[in-house]
């Protein structure tokens, strides 16, 4: 096992495009780090740089106390699981898992021991003689994971390994990956664009945007205190409601405690339907435009009518805008109905006008 440390890592392609803009990340020994962000944010490029599949333009990549910028992928003591499984179709499950070990000249007895142990852990023991075409998508992904496990590397690298699976299987495999990593205690770096996947898997969550790190930390800490409006809107489903407000309005509504804040954020689950405005909190009237019932909870999509003459109907109300409200259960007002929702002061998030700075009021 080993730590993975990135120090001011940069990647610039010919022509001047800077894909990675000075990333610093420290993954401790045995930790599970997830890189998450929208398509094109640089997360897969960063992972490929750790693997040695992309060159490093600047900075250092340290694995287990050794800078590996100039080290070949095969000599970095890492194992990678790809999105497309990358199995040999003409080989059995056993031979797919054993192939890398044979290339390293390992004795057949040791290969057999390692493959059979990995197959037992991954519940593949009955499938060792099958070919990939005889397996389901989830089984193929487990074979790809088994091929990585038998290597017994210092670091596992996962490049969106679940994106080709259906929703139900993704949930099951997500749980299996986390259980497996905790059992093996191998340092892991995992790339995904799915924020729910990231939240449930990570010890350390790295939120990326435009080749840069927006925020690093414990997943729940990031959810509870996003550093920027990008993080606030990306982490959480449905996303946080963000409302642009003038400084004077915020000071008036929040008792002058908002400082230089220009954007107010409220998570959908932190609204309640009520006729009361909580002390120090905010409230707003809504006209319901859409309702989504998803079983244990319901999402209400509402908006306020634009009114140039009235910024706020009563003290504590927000300017016009569209909001999402999440309520428990399936009972909800009807589409077209007018309601009033509110959030207490402790549930409000304040940001600077450019969205780049969180403000603690």
- The model's pLDDT over 142-184, given as tens digits with 9 standing for 90+, comes to 898 889 889 889 999 999 888 877 888 788 888 888 888 888 8
Closest by alpha carbon to 32, among 133, 180, 153?
180
Average pLDDT for 189-204: 93
Please say which residue of 228, 246, 271 terminates a domain.
228
* One domain, residues 275 and 197: no
* One domain, residues 88 and 44: yes
Could you write out the DSSP letters of every residue in 324-355?
Answer: EEEEESS--PPTT-EEEEEE-GGG-EEE-TTS
* β-bridge partners, 192: 36
Average pLDDT for 310-330: 66
* One domain, residues 64 and 207: yes
Average pLDDT for 291-313: 72
Q: Say what the pLDDT of residue 176 is.
A: 83
94: burial class by Cβ within 10 Å (0-12, 13-18, 19+)? buried
Answer yes or no: is pLDDT of 250 > 60: no
Residue 233 located in a structural domain: no
Please say which residue of 209, 228, 247 terminates a domain.
228
* One domain, residues 42 and 148: yes
User: What is the domain count for the chain?
Assistant: 2
pLDDT digits (tens, 9 = 90+) for 114-146: 999 889 888 899 999 999 999 988 888 889 888
* One domain, residues 168 and 301: no
**Host domain of residue 277:** 238-359
* One domain, residues 62 and 201: yes
* One domain, residues 247 and 191: no
Answer yes or no: is pLDDT of 316 > 60: no
* One domain, residues 70 and 206: yes
Q: Which residue has the higher pLDDT, 319 or 164?
A: 164
Alpha helix ranges (H) inside 62-136 = 93-103, 108-121
* One domain, residues 203 and 329: no
Answer yes or no: is pLDDT of 21 > 60: yes
Cα maximum dimension of the chain: 82
CATH code at position 286: 2.40.50.140
Residue 162 located in a structural domain: yes
Q: Which residues, including other chains, have CB under 8 Å from residue 210's CB and lie 6 or more apart?
A: 21, 41, 42
Please say which residue of 228, 261, 295 terminates a domain.
228
* One domain, residues 272 and 182: no
């Amino acid at each position: 096992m080993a730590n993975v440390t990135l120090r001011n890592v940069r990647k610039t392609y010919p022509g001047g495009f800077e894909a990675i803009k000075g990333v610093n990340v420290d993954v401790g020994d045995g930790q599970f780090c997830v890189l998450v962000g929208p398509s094109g944010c640089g997360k897969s490029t960063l992972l490929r740089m750790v693997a040695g599949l992309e060159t490093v333009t600047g900075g250092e990549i340290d694995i287990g106390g050794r800078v590996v910028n100039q080290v070949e992928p095969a000599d970095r003591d890492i194992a990678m699981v790809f999105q497309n499984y990358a199995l040999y179709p003409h080989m059995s499950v056993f031979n797919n898992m054993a192939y890398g070990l044979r290339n390293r000249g390992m004795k057949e007895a040791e290969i057999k021991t390692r493959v059979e142990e990995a197959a037992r852990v991954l519940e593949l023991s009955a499938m060792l003689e099958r070919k990939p075409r005889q397996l389901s998508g989830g089984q193929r992904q487990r074979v790809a994971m088994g091929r990585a496990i038998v290597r017994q590397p210092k670091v596992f690298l996962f490049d969106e390994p679940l994106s080709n699976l259906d929703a139900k299987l993704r949930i099951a495999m997500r749980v299996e990956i986390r259980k497996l990593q905790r059992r093996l205690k191998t340092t892991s770096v995992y790339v995904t664009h799915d924020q729910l996947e990231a939240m449930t898997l990570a010890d350390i969550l790295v939120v990326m945007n435009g080749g840069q790190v927006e925020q690093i930390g414990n997943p729940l800490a990031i959810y509870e205190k996003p550093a920027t409006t990008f993080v606030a809107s990306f982490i959480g489903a449905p996303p946080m409601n963000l409302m642009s407000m003038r400084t004077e309005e915020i000071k008036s509504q929040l008792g002058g405690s908002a400082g230089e804040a220009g954007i107010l954020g409220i998570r959908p689950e932190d609204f309640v339907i009520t006729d009361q405005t909580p002390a120090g909190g905010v409230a707003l009237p809504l006209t319901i435009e859409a309702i989504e019932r998803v079983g244990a909870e319901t999402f209400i999509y509402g908006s306020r009518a634009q009114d140039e003459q009235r910024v706020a109907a009563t003290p504590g109300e927000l300017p016009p805008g569209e909001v999402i409200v999440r309520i428990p259960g399936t009972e909800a007002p009807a589409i077209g109905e007018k309601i009033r929702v509110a959030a207490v002061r402790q549930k409000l998030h304040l940001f600077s006008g450019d969205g780049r700075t969180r403000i603690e009021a």
